[in-house]
Amino acid sequence: MPSHHKCAVKDCQDRISVRHRFPNPGKFITVFRQWINCIGNEAISHLEQLQVCHAHFTEDDTYTNNRLKKTSVPSVNLPEPQICQMSKQIGHPSSSAMLQYSQ
């Protein structure tokens, strides 16, 4: 059944795939910012209505029931190669690594 929500990824025309809501910025600010950086769409408003279609995630990003893991970030079928910053806690307050995603 087609979703009535347009995918938030810039230029995505998919109207059929399952949609995933953005992470809650109050609980998962780092992952939320990564989503914003990766989708290539700066014209973002009405956050509660934004969703990204399943076509922008890898198989490793989801559980068997198509629910996203909390650390999942859109990484495939993006409008152009995107540079996303991923931060990890590794025994220090913070460290980061730059990842380049491409189609």
Domain assignment present for residue 3? The answer is no
Domain assignment present for residue 64? The answer is yes
**pLDDT > 70: percent of the chain:** 65
Per-residue pLDDT of 52-98, as tens digits, reads 999 999 999 999 888 999 889 998 888 765 555 443 332 334 444 44
Question: What is d(CA 28, CA 25) in angstroms, rounded to the nearest whole number?
Answer: 5
Domain assignment present for residue 1? The answer is no
pLDDT at 99 over 70: no
Domain assignment present for residue 2? The answer is no
pLDDT at 45 over 70: no
| 62: containing domain | 19-101
Domain assignment present for residue 83? The answer is yes
Domain assignment present for residue 44? The answer is yes
The confidence band for 15, taking pLDDT boundaries of 50, 70 and 90, is confident
- Based on the structure, what is the number of domains in the chain? 1
Asked if residue 40 lies in contact with residue 79, where contact means CB atoms within 8 angstroms, the answer is yes
